[in-house]
Amino acid sequence: MKKFILGLLVGILVSIPVFSYAAISISSRLSGRILLQVESKGEAWYVNPVDGKRYYMANGNEAYNIMRKLGLGITNKDLAQIAIAKESAMVDSVEKTYKTIKTFSGSGKFHTEEFSITGEKFKVIWSHTGTGNFLMAANDEEDPRSTCWMGNVTGNFAKYDVCTAYSKGNFSLNITTDGNWTVEIQDYK
């Protein structure tokens, strides 16, 4: 039994430097960074490069105070090494706007023909006259993430919705209603 306990103590003592070396290595590798602890409510921690300790950033105000107190800043020499982008690279030279590509109108339940979306989003301008519910969905058969639900209102309405197109492609509308309706599709390009 004594040999077992002695062996256990020797094993623990031998392993201590290994663990502290690993901790120092991680601390130095992450120093000066903000870490997000996503497993625990997205908590943020700042690893101070001076003392290697981490500081909890409870909220935006606390983060600001920690960075003011512990942040090292930047020298003018280091700041001068950051390349400045050309003005043309920062501004999109082509102004994007919504352009009407298709208009549908009808009464009651309807499934439209496909229309092609080439931009990253599109606008659906619609109106409805009736007493019942108006429900509309834009569907991309190739990418289900792009399904966009609109409407779901009762009575007479006129409004618009903007849908995100996760992939460029062909869309169609499924319209369910009891009254007359008009739908205009505008692509963002």
Task: Write down the pLDDT at residue 147.
Answer: 74
Alpha carbons within 13 A on the beta-carbon side of 144: 0
Model pLDDT for residues 76-108, shown as the tens digit of each residue: 888 788 777 655 444 455 677 889 999 999 998
Residue 117: closest CA among 43, 167, 57: 167
DSSP of 135-171: EEEEE-TT-GGG-EEEEEEESSEEEEEEEE-SS-EEE
Burial bucket for residue 89 (CB in 10 Å: 0-12, 13-18, 19+): exposed
pLDDT attached to residue 85: 63
Of 124, 126, 127, 128, nearest in space to 161 by CA:
124
Query: Does residue 179 carry a pLDDT above 60?
Result: yes
pLDDT (average), residues 23-45: 77
Domains and CATH numbers, the chain: 25-72 (no CATH), 98-188 (2.60.120.380)
What pLDDT, in 10s, does the model give residues 112-159?
998 888 877 888 888 888 888 888 888 877 776 667 777 777 778 788
Calculate mean pLDDT across residues 149-175.
79
